[in-house]
């Protein structure tokens, strides 16, 4: 298993290109199952999760070709060979559940392994199943698989989500495009990845209104065609790299960054004393003089502060002046980076979903363990400003969501290198 060594850094300067969004690409790719014509995705990120989704789609009979060094994905589901998503692929990546809605809509049945939990929580999929049942699907859980049937095809319905779920919204949105009649999704997720999916489905011929609001209306159509669609910029990679100059000092321009993707996050950076400027090519981030100020953060569905930036923000607040309170409202176990940051000298008190961080002058490098995707990059950010050397182990977590992290940070002056494991 590879490790990454980070040495305490001076100020950073330069540009970091931001890739296409992992969490948009992972829902855009299964959309190919809705049509027998080709779907081409450009600006695709080069990540292990994308390779896993490609493997899953191929196991169903879809063709997936990766071109231009992985930045273009040519998908085609002209003829499917099956509707069973096997456990040994699904367990590697929970987003595999996003083939359920499209398979059901296209073939009228699907057997998808339950994804199981992960480090940050139990991650049930009950909202996905309820939504598809509201469109006439019959669901049965057997041997760890969801057996879904819609013999006469799906029909439009009203789907009321009891609370916001990104994945359930995506599954329902995709399935509804081919359901007979009108479907209304109430309390739908408003994330930019949902908007991106709706725009791609519309290019394929879907009739959708209201994406980006909490009520989305879909008029089912008989079939969908092909399309070419650019994957939206990754707002979580963007926010992650905006924190590098915030933590180390200096000035970095994140190419492709847009304020509208990270509005709530930028409000917190401003309150902490970090300046963010929209330029013609992205977001320029610099730390005003003096220490970062403590701020309180509560994670919420979009447009609130994203849970996927909570760990990274904590790394910044570990050396802020004052005490910050972080509330994690989306996942039940998303503070696993806290004990690792404490090994580096951070002062953090975790009680349930609340972490209280008392800023210290400087962290000290140490060997630390990556536990999940966002926790691992939080440790790298902390290591950038720490005194001495930090070794982050188990960086396979990192490679799921960040392409070429050592190259991108190294190009702006960070002392970072990857050590290949046995
Ligand atoms: C998506 O996960 C993202 N993953 C997550 O990013 C992100 O943290 C999350 O949305 C929230 O923004 C992808 O898009 C591939 P949810 P998802 O359904 O769809 C509970 C990353 O780091 N819930 O919005 O699984 C659930 O347990 C990953 O890139 C149910 O109870 O998230 C959670 O507590 C991590 N039943 C809350 O709702 C359900 O049927 C929100 O989950 C579904 C969800």
What is the pLDDT, as a whole number, of residue 119? 77
For residue 266, give every residue at least 6 positions away whose Cβ sits within 8 Å of its Cβ, in sequence order, or none: 259, 276
Number of domain units in the chain: 2
Question: What does the pLDDT average to over 106-117?
Answer: 91
Ligand 1 centroid vs 176 CA: distance in angstroms?
Answer: 20
The verdict on 13 and 56 lying in the same domain is no
Cα of 354 vs centre of ligand 1, distance in Å, is 19
Q: What is the pLDDT of residue 116?
A: 75
- Pair (97, 158) in one structural domain: yes
The reply to whether 25 belongs to the active site is: no
Say whether both 224 and 247 belong to one domain: no
| pLDDT higher at 164 or 151 | 164
Residues 175 and 278 grouped into a single domain: no
Atom of ligand 1 nearest to the CA of 302: 12
Q: What is the mean pLDDT of the chain?
A: 96
pLDDT of amino acid 115: 86
pLDDT at 73: 98
Within 8 A by CB and 6+ apart from 352, the residues are none
Helix 235-248, helix 310-317: angle, nearest 10? 10
Confidence of residue 1 (pLDDT cuts 50, 70, 90): confident
Q: Are 276 and 318 part of one and the same domain?
A: yes
Q: Are 179 and 220 in contact (CB under 8 A)?
A: yes
Per residue in 331-376, pLDDT tens? 999 999 999 999 999 999 999 999 999 999 999 999 999 889 999 9
What is the rounded CA–CA span in Å between residue 90 and residue 114? 8
Express each pLDDT in 16-63 by its tens digit: 999 999 999 999 999 999 999 999 999 999 999 999 999 999 999 999
Do 10 and 37 have their domain in common? no
Which of the listed residues 167, 168, 191 should we mutate to test ligand 1's pocket, taking the one with most ligand atoms within 8 A of CB? 167
Q: Choose one of 212, 230, 248: the last residue of a domain.
A: 230
The candidate with the shortest Cα–Cα distance to 282, out of 262, 261, 260, 257, is 257
What is the rounded CA–CA span in Å between residue 306 and residue 297?
10
pLDDT tens-place string over residues 82-94? 999 999 999 889 9
CATH of the domain at 79: 3.65.10.10
Identify the residues whose C-beta falls under 6 Å from ligand 1: 22-23, 26, 95, 121, 123-128, 165-168, 307-308, 330-331, 373-374, 401
pLDDT band of 422, cuts 50, 70, 90: low
Which residue's CA is minimally distant from atom 26 of ligand 1?
123
Q: CB–CB of 114/85 below 8 Å?
A: no
Residues 92 and 39 in one domain: yes
| Binding-site sequence positions for UDP-N-acetyl-alpha-D-glucosamine | 94, 123-127, 308, 330
pLDDT digits (tens, 9 = 90+) for 230-266: 999 999 999 999 999 999 999 999 999 999 999 999 9
Q: How far is the CA of 70 from the centre of ligand 1 (A)?
A: 26
Measured CA to CA, the distance from residue 173 to residue 183 in angstroms comes to: 9
For 77, the domain range is: 22-230
Residue located nearest, by CA, to atom 16 of ligand 1: 165
For the cut 70, the answer to whether the pLDDT of residue 96 exceeds it is yes
Residues 224 and 249 in one domain: no
**What pLDDT does residue 41 have?**
98
Which two tokens mark 155? 């029909």
Per-residue pLDDT at 124: 87
Q: Is the pLDDT of residue 288 over 70?
A: no
Q: What percent of the chain has pLDDT over 90?
A: 91
The average pLDDT across 90-112 equals 95
Q: SS3 for 13? A: strand
Say yes or no: 265 and 409 in one domain.
yes
Q: Which of 187, 206, 230 is the last residue of a domain?
A: 230
Tell whether 330 and 405 lie within a shared domain.
Answer: yes
Pocket test for ligand 1, best of 330, 353, 397 (most atoms within 8 A of CB): 330
Residue whose CA is at the smallest distance from ligand 1 atom 31: 124
Residue scoring higher pLDDT (397 or 60) = 60
Domain's final residue, options 181, 208, 230 = 230
112 close to 97: Cβ distance less than 8 angstroms? yes
Local confidence band at 167 (pLDDT 50, 70, 90 cut-offs): very high
pLDDT score of 396: 87
Are 151 and 256 in the same domain? no
Co-location of 323 and 408 in the same domain: yes
State the average pLDDT over residues 265-290: 94
Annotated binding site for phosphoenolpyruvate: 22-23
Closest ligand 1 atom number to CA of residue 193: 14
């Amino acid at each position: 298993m590879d490790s990454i060594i980070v040495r305490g850094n001076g100020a950073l300067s330069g540009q970091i290109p931001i890739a296409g969004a992992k969490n948009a690409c992972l829902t855009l790719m299964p959309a190919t199952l809705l049509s027998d014509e080709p779907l081409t995705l450009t600006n695709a990120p080069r990540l292990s999760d994308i390779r896993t989704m490609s493997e899953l789609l191929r196991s169903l009979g879809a063709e997936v070709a990766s071109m231009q060094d992985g930045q273009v994905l040519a998908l085609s589901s002209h003829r499917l060979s099956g509707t069973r998503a096997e456990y040994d692929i699904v367990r590697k990546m929970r987003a595999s559940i996003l083939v359920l809605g499209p398979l059901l809509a296209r073939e009228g049945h699907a057997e998808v392994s339950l994804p199981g939990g992960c480090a940050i929580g139990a991650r049930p999929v009950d909202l996905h199943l309820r939504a598809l049942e509201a469109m006439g699907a019959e669901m049965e859980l057997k041997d760890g698989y969801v057996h879904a049937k819609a013999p006469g095809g799906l029909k439009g319905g009203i789907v009321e989500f009891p609370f916001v779920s990104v994945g359930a919204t995506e599954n329902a949105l995709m399935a509804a495009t081919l359901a007979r009649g009108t479907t209304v999704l109430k309390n739908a997720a408003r994330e930019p990845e949902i908007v991106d999916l709706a725009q791609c489905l519309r290019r394929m011929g879907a009739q959708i209104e209201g994406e980006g609001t909490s009520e989305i209306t879909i008029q089912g159509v008989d079939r969908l065609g092909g399309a070419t669609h650019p994957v939206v910029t990754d707002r979580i990679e963007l926010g992650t790299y905006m924190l590098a100059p915030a933590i180390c000092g200096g000035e970095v321009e994140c190419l492709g960054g847009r304020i509208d993707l990270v509005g709530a996050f930028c409000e917190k950076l401003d309150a902490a004393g970090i300046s963010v400027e929209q330029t013609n090519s992205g977001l320029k981030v610099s730390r005003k003089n003096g220490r970062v100020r403590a701020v309180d953060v509560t994670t919420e569905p979009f447009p609130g502060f994203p849970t996927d930036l909570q760990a990274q923000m904590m790394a910044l607040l570990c050396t802020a002046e004052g005490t910050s309170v972080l509330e994690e409202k989306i996942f039940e176990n998303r503070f696993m980076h806290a004990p690792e940051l404490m090994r580096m000298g951070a002062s953090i008190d975790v009680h349930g979903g609340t972490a209280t961080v008392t800023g210290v002058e400087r962290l000290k490098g140490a060997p630390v363990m990556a536990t999940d995707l966002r926790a691992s990059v939080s440790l790298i950010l902390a290591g950038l400003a720490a005194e001495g050397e930090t070794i982050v182990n188990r960086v396979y977590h990192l490679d799921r969501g960040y392409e070429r992290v050592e190259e991108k940070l190294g190009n702006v002056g960070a002392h970072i290198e990857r050590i290949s494991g046995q």
